[in-house]
Amino acid sequence: MSEPRSAVLFDFGGVLTTSLVGAFEELGRELAGDSGLLLRLLTHDEKSSALLVAHEKGLIGQGEFEDGFAARLRAHGADVAAEGLVRRMQAGLRPDPDTVALVAKLRADGYRVGLLSNSLGDDCYAGFDLPALFDAVTISGEIGVRKPSRRAYAIACERLGVAPEQTVMVDDLEQNITSAARIGIAGIVHRDAATTAAELDRLLGESGRV
């Protein structure tokens, strides 16, 4: 029999908040009339992707990321200043009270709950008291590795005091769930709090606890 799951790791953007994809699409429409522009650059443009990876690993600061990414956006037709770009990228994000409440309920029910987040900008967690919400907090820019690196998941589990086989990861990106599974972490691709709660109920094996 497999070891029971007793801990949950949550992503931040798009899980504890409204959709990060939606926020990027909104800014793309505002800047260039192209909702897919930011996501295309960050995932398929080599220079933009390298900037994001370096920033999320803590190798470059917010200012250097903004300078570089603004230049890539301008090269693709978007008239944008570097200063304040990260703030504009995050302007469409709002806390998701239902997922925040789910985190609190899991802790109240006795589960270990942690955050594993790829950081973006100096103030991306403003308005969230992370130490009060979670038993352990793991931020990519502080540990020097980012999802989907297996090391990022391993560090998050170590900080939470649990084995990967005891853990469930909740993330809005399927590739991050796939990577977590490689070290034994079960996963849920988050779409909304109610669906995630139902999936957690199944994976944790405690009917009615979530």
> In this predicted model, what pLDDT tens digit does every residue of 151-187 receive, in sequence order?
999 999 999 999 999 999 999 999 999 999 999 999 9
| Cα 159 to Cα 62: distance, rounded to the nearest angstrom | 26
Q: What percent of the chain has pLDDT over 70?
A: 96
**pLDDT-derived band of residue 210, with 50, 70 and 90 as boundaries?**
very low
**pLDDT-derived band of residue 208, with 50, 70 and 90 as boundaries?**
very low
- C-alpha of 175 from chain center: 12
Alpha carbons within 13 angstroms on the beta-carbon side of residue 40 total 10
| Cα 50 to Cα 43: distance, rounded to the nearest angstrom | 9
Nearest to 92 by CA among 28, 1, 48: 28
56-65, Cβ contacts within 8 angstroms, sequence gap of 24 or more? 56/118, 56/119, 56/120, 56/140, 56/141, 56/146, 57/140, 57/141, 57/144, 57/145, 57/146, 58/119, 58/140, 58/141, 58/142, 58/144, 59/144, 61/122, 62/86, 62/121, 62/122, 65/121
The predicted structure's pLDDT at residue 132:
95
The answer on pLDDT for 3 being more than 80 is no
Residue 199 contacts residue 169 (beta carbons within 8 Å): no
The answer on pLDDT for 100 being more than 60 is yes
The answer on pLDDT for 110 being more than 80 is yes
Q: Which residues, at least 6 apart from 33, have a Cβ–Cβ distance to it below 8 Å?
A: none
Q: What digits encode the pLDDT tens for the residues 28-87?
A: 999 999 999 999 999 999 999 999 999 999 999 999 999 999 999 999 999 999 999 999
The answer on pLDDT for 207 being more than 70 is no
DSSP 161: T
pTM: 0.92
Nearest to 87 by CA among 63, 71, 56: 63
* pLDDT, mean of residues 83-110: 96
Of how many residues is the chain composed?
Answer: 210
Average pLDDT, the chain: 94
The predicted structure's pLDDT at residue 205:
78
**pLDDT-derived band of residue 2, with 50, 70 and 90 as boundaries?**
low
The predicted structure's pLDDT at residue 201:
94
How many CB atoms are closer than 10 A to CB 189? 17
| Cα 139 to Cα 173: distance, rounded to the nearest angstrom | 17
What b-and-e string marks burial along 9-24, b requiring 16 or more CB atoms within 10 Å of the CB? bbbbbbbbbbbbbebb
The predicted structure's pLDDT at residue 182:
97
